[in-house]
Amino acid sequence: MKKMTKLAGVLAMTVLLIACSEQAPEQTSTAAGAETITVDLILTNGKIVTVDGSFSIHNTVVVDAGRIVETGSDALLDSYQADQLIDLQGKTVLPGFIDSHTHIRGRPNRYIELSEVSSIAEMQDLIRAKARELGEGEWITGYGWSEDELAENRRPLRQDLDLAAPNNPVIFTRAGGHSAVVSTLALELADITDATPDPEGGVIERDDNGVANGIIRERQGIVGRLVPDSTYDELIASLQINLNALLSKGITSITDASKSPGDYAMWQELYNKPGVNLPRAALQFQWRNPERINALKAEVGEGTDFLKIGPIKVFADGGFTGPAAYTLEPYVNQGDYRGYLNMPEAELVSLLNEIHDAGWQMGIHAIGDAAIELVVDTLAAALERNPRNDHRHYLNHFSMRPPEATMVKMAEHEIHITQQPNFTYTLEGRYVANLDGWRLQHNNPIRSPMDHGIVVAISSDILPIGPLVGLYAAVTRKGMSGRVFAAEEAITMEEAIRGYTITGAYLNFEEDTKGSLEAGKFADMIVLSDDILTIDPDQIMDINIEQTYIAGQLVYSR
């Protein structure tokens, strides 16, 4: 990664202050006669973890015109005075988290977020409240439940939904999106009876008596298609709420996957609204309509400091909730089933080549070891055929440890990773059900690719969005049960913080403006309730984000 030297940083800052500040900082004489410079903001008496090249830690950070001016000891208070001087009382400050893989979207009023729900009883309370809010007959939708996180230790079935809202059709998609549970009324409206044959590629689950239990696997669209369209207004209002909520998790930048140029227009409208607090975002498009993507790129170029177009998203395989990740060896207890590619292999290979040749960077979803191997082989061949410096193509997920030769090839061709250590925690049940032995132990490997010289960023995806879970799992390798998976794959907290900050910036070619608290960079930073560098690792998830700043503006306070 390119690092600004201190001198270059100071020089860049001088230029910046002249260029960016509406009024240049004023020189003021103190009573003692020393000159001080007035700036917008100073945080002092803290533990400022800069995440610079040497991971230096300072007491004070000086901010002006949205950027870091300087970090150092409290002697800086002799040189600067601030419109706003904050005494951190010893608290720890980090650069804002850069979450290099998320899925944030606007949701309609009928939607219930289920990823934090911890019991079927709680789910039923949410359904009752939503049914009252919407009135009888209205569809209720939701996403994100997982039997692994429910106190009842089982999946919700249609009777559970009926008890809470007999007069509203309900469809709740499981985390991962490969199945859903629907209520009796929803089944009736979709004309699904116990006698209805399974749809092609999917399953209508039935109990021992042949009665549909409400679970539909892979083809839940046979019910979902009945849900009325959402309005633009409710979606953009909800998008604003969902993006704003990231600030409370300390996230100041995201790369959001699976978007379309049409979505970009909605985000643009939101980001153009004055007075709205949102994280910086880069949107990843799927390669569905290259003309439209290229036209948008020609129109917005690099975008703004807050909203830009990210790398192109490609899906190589599925995930472990189906399970549909494409693996080299069969899953446990599932015959010779090895998951599958998201499209025929030849089609995937030509798609990756086409996007590479079109000059775009790619962030490619690859979860199973077979998918990882194929994608790496394809990228390596594309790079040999049509070399490009500093392409920064990366794999997203990397949930299984691929063969040694694959990791060597990745390092050689500078193919990077954005990894979700939080999966080791939240998806423990899925891994245990589908993998075993060495493959299970090395789920979501981090230490081994780093040791091969591969650049590894850390991100949340949706299980759940919250960097503290990822940091916890990255350093402990613990699943939800407390079981440790291949402790030798753990990384240090310093490495994990780099993964969630500067390395995320690097994946988006933004390491010169973000990801560390160094002179000239955006003053995107967070204040933590506890010292994340010294806390007992088991307490990491209990840390609170006290404040979040973007460009030196307080955008969240607990």
Give the nearer residue to Zn ion in terms of CB position, either 254 or 490.
254
The whole-angstrom separation of Cα 490 and Cα 480 is 16
Least distance from Zn ion to the Cβ atom of residue 88, Å: 35
Q: How far apart, in Å, are the Cα atoms of 223 and each of 80, 207, 211? A: 63, 19, 17
Tell me whether residue 428 or residue 461 sits nearer to Zn ion (CB atom).
461
Least separation in angstroms between CB 66 and Zn ion: 30
The residue among 92 and 399 lying less far from Zn ion, judged by its C-beta, is 399
Q: What kind and span of H or E run contains 430?
A: helix 428-434
Supply the DSSP string of 10-24, one letter for each residue. HHHHHHHHHHH-SSP
Nearer to Zn ion, 92 or 422 (CB): 422
User: How many alpha carbons lie under 13 Å from residue 339 in its C-beta half-sphere?
Assistant: 27
**Least distance between Zn ion and beta carbon 193 (Å):** 35
Beta bridge partners of 113: 143
Query: Which residue's CB comes closest to Zn ion?
Result: 461
User: To the nearest whole angstrom, how small is the minimum distance from the Cβ of residue 303 to Zn ion?
Assistant: 21
CB of 131 or CB of 469, closer to Zn ion: 469
Q: How far is the CB of 319 from Zn ion (least distance, A)?
A: 8
Provide, rounded to whole angstroms, the least separation between the CB of residue 304 and Zn ion. Answer: 24
**Cβ–Cβ under 8 Å, residues 138 and 146:** no
Q: Where is 455: in which H helix or E strand?
A: none
Amino acid in position 89: Q
The residue among 423 and 522 lying less far from Zn ion, judged by its C-beta, is: 423
Smallest separation, CB 462 to Zn ion (Å): 6
Return residues touching Zn ion (CB under 5 A).
Answer: 461
| Closest distance to Zn ion from the beta carbon of 257 (Å) | 5
CB of 313 to Zn ion, least distance (A): 9
Q: Which is nearer to Zn ion, 160 or 461 (CB)?
A: 461
Q: Residue 98 or residue 555: which is nearer to Zn ion going by CB?
A: 98
453, 95 in Cβ contact below 8 A? no
Q: What is the DSSP string of 481-548?
A: TS-B--GGG---HHHHHHHTTHHHHHHTT-TTTSSS--TTSB--EEEESS-TTTS-GGGGGG--EEEE
Q: Compute how many other C-beta atoms are within 10 angstroms of the C-beta atom of residue 217.
A: 17
Secondary structure (3-state) at 9: helix
Q: CA-to-CA distance for 310 and 358, rounded, in angstroms?
A: 15
Tell me the CA distances in angstroms from 211 to 6, 151, 220, 368, 441, one per residue in order. 70, 25, 17, 34, 38
Quick one: 59 or 418, whose CB is closer to Zn ion?
A: 418
313 in helix, strand or coil?
strand
Q: How far apart are CA 535 and CA 469, in angstroms?
A: 14
